[in-house]
Amino acid sequence: MQAAVVDKAVAAVAKPKDFDVPVLGDYLQVPSLAPGSMAHSKPFEAKPVHQEKLGFPGELIDNWQEVAVAKLGDLVKSSRGLQVYLDSCVKCGACTDKCHYFLGTADPKNMPVARQDLLRKVYRRYYTVAGKYLPKLVGAEDLTEEVLDDWYTYYHQCSQCRRCSVYCPYGIDTAEVSMAAREIMDTVGKGQKYCNEIIGKVHKLGNNLGLPEPALADTLEGLEEDVEEEIGIDVKFPLDVKGADVLLVTPSADFFAEPHIDGLIGYAKVFHQAGLSWTISSHASEAANFGLFIGSHDNMQKVALRIREAALELGVKRIVFGECGHAWRVGYSFLNTLAGPFDFLDSNYPVPQHIVEVTHDLLQQGRLTLDPEANDDKRVTFHDSCNVARASRMGSLPGGQFTLPRDVIKASCNHFFDMPANTIGEATFCCGGGGGLLTDDLVELRVKGAMPRMQALKEVNDRHQITHMAAICAICKSQFSKVFPYYGFQMDQIISVHQLVGDALVFNSDPGARRITQ
């Protein structure tokens, strides 16, 4: 990658004045501790108008302490997993240097064990015998204003990526702890603006952007014109078509942002060439489900139910998810329990199916032809998105979530190179913006948290002169567009996997098997 060539316009303002961007070295180093270095980092708090739409108190309630402790008790009672996570840490230290936010910020409270302890010490104080009677001996503490403040600060410095849990000998899942803490905070009226405003928009309009149906229709129509103009083929972007076979549920960023939209064009080209009838729904025009990030089962379910409603209303046979990381976790792992049963769909296909699985299947069946030479101008690496890597699967074999995207990329381009083994697959580093942290009020955290991934990119780039990093998550794509310039890369070096596919697709039915090029 031409690391030295930074887009000047971006660099001029994107270079921060008030924090130091980590310097990439020859290899990833564990930093010396800098206690309190991120104590100032907190996202904007949700306003009453955002809170109330989600069924939470508008602002911090008077008896918040009592309610928070009771809520913690309820959560521990209803989730055996959470109780095990809070009970079983032996302070072995295996997780301490595994979190990208710790590696990028050096704040010891960003060590996963320390992050868990913020909740664990309160749990011990109120719900264990030792903590009730001998709190000081077992590190138990009262829930004070200071503790609540720490929760807000540091549970919004966890992207719930679950990398630490891979290395924990007990499998303690910090994501679950962080979700529980956020849920408790929402319950007492201390919510985060970014997530809660967005969830409110989904409840009202069906997507994170707040994109109403006429705007969506206009955007899709424009895309049809663009693609027709570009390649001379009438590729459709159907909306609310009753009786279509496939309902595509994709992150609304795919309609709005770059490079996401090139991924959407790629899906449409795949559907077109495979002859699949498909549609987008204006009712469920969002794959993302931020209910997961705030640990709210009710909100997660409400969002998920829109997909069921759309599938029934349109009478589709299959549900396919576009490139969105945590959506695939919710889709793959929870959709059936949240919004099932889906016995009205075609049982020959997984419910739901990932767009990468669709493309992979079509390639295996010989129903798609890709010409990888179309991407000969690119040297590509792949960023495994955390929720796909560590909380889901693709295809029928273990590890399919790692092999399928790579198979698809390799079929689309001739020059593919992986980043170092301890930074990909289940050991993948978060982009730095996941878990509801992709907001401008957390830019310092996002830039610093991206450091381990940037280090890995630098290493593969030094060896193989990478031009592009491909990803299958809307958050990852937006995050990298934002943070690349801080590290000397260019914002347009992040692309969608299905952009590669779309550009390499050969339209067989066309005279002369015309290749699609830009």
Partner 1 sequence: MAIELNGKSYETDEEGYLENLADWDPDIAKVMAELDDCDLSENHWEVINFLREYYEEYQIAPAVRVLTKAIGKKLGKDKGNSKYLYELYPYGPAKQACKYAGLPKPTGCV
Please name the amino acid found at residue 43.
P
Regarding 212 and contact with partner 1 (CB under 8 A), the answer is yes
d(CA 54, CA 296): 9
Regarding 127 and contact with partner 1 (CB under 8 A), the answer is no
> 10 Å Cβ neighbour count for 227?
21
* CB within 8 Å of 193: residues ≥ 6 apart: 43, 44, 45, 46, 47, 50, 439, 441
| Contact predicate 275/349, CB 8 Å | no
d(CA 281, CA 278): 10
Nearer to partner 1, 16 or 341 (CB): 16
For the bound state, the minimum distance from the C-beta of residue 60 to partner 1, rounded and expressed in Å, comes to 17
What is the total count of residues that contact partner 1 (CB under 8 A)? 44
Pairing of strands 369-370, 505-506: antiparallel
d(CA 268, CA 265): 5
Q: Which of 7, 240, 313, 426 binds partner 1 (CB under 8 A)?
A: 7
Nearer to partner 1, 185 or 475 (CB): 475
For the bound state, the minimum distance from the C-beta of residue 222 to partner 1, rounded and expressed in Å, comes to 6
Nearer to partner 1, 187 or 207 (CB): 207
* DSSP per-residue letters across 153-218: HHTTS-----HHHHH-TT---HHHHHHHHHHHHHHTT--BHHHHHHHHHHHHHSSTT---HHHHHH
For the bound state, the minimum distance from the C-beta of residue 288 to partner 1, rounded and expressed in Å, comes to 6
Distances in whole angstroms, Cα of residue 5 to Cα of each of 23, 115, 273, 459:
17, 38, 38, 17
- Of 127-135, 137-145, 211-219, 501-509, which segment contacts partner 1 by CB under 8 A? 211-219
State the first-to-last Cα distance of the chain, in angstroms, to the nearest integer. 21
For the bound state, the minimum distance from the C-beta of residue 258 to partner 1, rounded and expressed in Å, comes to 5
What's the full length of the chain, in residues? 518
* Of residues 474-493, those binding partner 1 (CB under 8 A): 474-475, 477-478, 491-492
Q: Which of 218, 228, 230, 462 binds partner 1 (CB under 8 A)?
A: 218
d(CA 443, CA 432): 10
* CB within 8 Å of 418: residues ≥ 6 apart: 381, 382, 406, 424, 460
For the bound state, the minimum distance from the C-beta of residue 211 to partner 1, rounded and expressed in Å, comes to 5
Binding mask 456-475 for partner 1 (x = CB under 8 A): ------------------xx
For the bound state, the minimum distance from the C-beta of residue 171 to partner 1, rounded and expressed in Å, comes to 29
Regarding 9 and contact with partner 1 (CB under 8 A), the answer is yes
Binding mask 308-337 for partner 1 (x = CB under 8 A): ----------------x-------------
Binding mask 240-279 for partner 1 (x = CB under 8 A): -----------xxx-xxxx-xx------------------
Nearer to partner 1, 288 or 304 (CB): 288
**Gyration radius from the chain CA atoms:** 23
Residues 327, 332, 338: CA angle, nearest 5 degrees: 80
For the bound state, the minimum distance from the C-beta of residue 132 to partner 1, rounded and expressed in Å, comes to 40
d(CA 210, CA 198): 8
Regarding 10 and contact with partner 1 (CB under 8 A), the answer is yes
* Of residues 405-444, those binding partner 1 (CB under 8 A): 438, 440-441
> 10 Å Cβ neighbour count for 132?
13
Regarding 192 and contact with partner 1 (CB under 8 A), the answer is no
Distances in whole angstroms, Cα of residue 231 to Cα of each of 99, 210, 269:
44, 31, 11
Regarding 224 and contact with partner 1 (CB under 8 A), the answer is no
For the bound state, the minimum distance from the C-beta of residue 138 to partner 1, rounded and expressed in Å, comes to 40
> Which residue ranges make up the site for partner 1 (CB under 8 A)?
7, 9-10, 12-14, 44, 194, 197-198, 201, 207-212, 214-215, 218-219, 222-223, 226, 251-253, 255-258, 260-261, 288, 324, 438, 440-441, 474-475, 477-478, 491-492
